[in-house]
Amino acid sequence: MENPASCLFDDVRARVWSRVAAATVTPINPTRQSAPAPILPQLRKSHEVADDARCGYLPFALPCYILSDRSIAAAGNRVWMVSVAASSLMGGNRGAGGAGDAGPGGAGRGVVTGKYFNFKPLPPSADILGNPLIVPNLPTHKLPKETFGSRVKRFFARMNLGSQSADTKLRWKLHDTIQATMASLSPAVTLVAEKRAPAKNRKLSVPVVVVRHPYHMRHVFEMLPNIPDRFAVEQRFLELLMTRALKRYGEQMALIKGSAFSFEHEAREYFFAGFRLERQIKKVNSPDERFAALQAIHTNYFHGRNYYYYALLRREKLAPDNKLFMLFARAVYFMARIDWNGELLEKPNPRMLPSRDDMLFFVERDKSVVTRYRTDQDFQRQVKSVLEAFPAS
């Protein structure tokens, strides 16, 4: 005796398959007439078309179909999704800036091509160390201590509780900069290649970087002249860290080059190279050649300015008549005359000029300038005229 449940199941299955075989599809576009077709061949055809589209054989958007039978609406949704996916793969939205807008070179809309002026060139490749810079003798015993109250305020600040003054936020940033700098120069290396161990497993507002050139710590060098006098302890410690790092870098470069390395010598070479190009800029008439000449001048002055800064923080014994400060002032003044599009302005942009206090920061650390300033009155007038050319803060 047959099971009634199995008979009922066979009857339902037969009715479903009969309806599936009799179902038809209707195109969305009413202007396009197509003959009714069984759903199973159409499903197979849609999958074949989608596979061809993925392989890149069909350079057109596929038509979408809607099933007219509710009993197989789920199957119809699958057919519709396959068609839309194939259409999107082929870039059917040409008017919307999709893949269809790409030209023969593969560049889509919104891509800006052409020359641009590089205001922050990378350091010379010959001066980049092969291995990360590691300073073994970090002055941890002179590290400024953070008070318990400051740590409690930090804890509440992470939960967005309470308010902090500008001085408090600046002090926290200075402490984070110190911790991140020490972690960047520390010999403690994690198992991940070229990655330093995080300082005390705490999230810092300043990134930990791999240092192969002093330029990689430019965020610290840019911060030093802008630190207020009330944070003199943090400023002195940051300068001490930079002094140790620059001395270690000089030792590594001396081993590589086989001779003594001096930031003073490198800065002088860059300044004079830029000055020679600057004297010839008036003879250049072609816009492209003038653009390239200004880029070369700016690059030489940019490296000369940085190396002069490194020489001061490394506390090198500069020659009494080196004239590096005057060359430095001339370089930064000329760099401020270069507009964002690479054109030379008649007057420097005040926003691009360092402030008078920033220039005093360099004067105070250049021992040759200070010594000569005390004895030579003509040199005093020259220094005063140079400082007056820069805006007051």
Question: How confident is the model over 39-57, as a mean pLDDT?
Answer: 41
Average pLDDT, the chain: 75
Tell me how far apart the alpha carbons of residues 302 and 295 are, in angstroms, rounded to a whole number. Answer: 10
Tell me how far apart the alpha carbons of residues 85 and 128 are, in angstroms, rounded to a whole number. Answer: 49
pLDDT value at 39 more than 60: no
- What does the pLDDT look like over 212-226, one tens digit per residue? 999 999 999 999 999
| Residue 135 CA neighbour count, 13 Å, CB half | 25
Helix (H) or strand (E) holding 246: helix 232-257
Exposure string (b/e) for 39-67, b if CB count within 10 Å is 16 or more? beebbeebeebbeebeeeebeebbebbeb
DSSP 8-class letter at 321: T
Q: What is the pLDDT of residue 191?
A: 35
- What does the pLDDT look like over 146-183, one tens digit per residue? 777 777 777 767 777 777 778 778 888 898 899 899 99
Tell me how far apart the alpha carbons of residues 305 and 50 are, in angstroms, rounded to a whole number. Answer: 60
Q: Taken in order 252, 254, 260, 262, is the CA torsion positive or negative?
A: negative
- What does the pLDDT look like over 254-295, one tens digit per residue? 999 999 999 999 999 999 999 999 999 988 989 899 999 999
Place of tokens 């590691």: 134
CA-nearest of 153, 136, 147, 209 to 177 is 209
Share of the chain above pLDDT 70, in %: 67
Give, to the nearest 10 degrees, the angle between helix 356-365 and helix 377-388.
Answer: 150
pLDDT value at 189 more than 60: no
Q: What is the pLDDT of residue 37?
A: 44
Share of the chain above pLDDT 90, in %: 45
- What does the pLDDT look like over 79-133, one tens digit per residue? 343 333 333 333 444 344 444 444 444 444 554 556 788 999 999 999 999 999 9
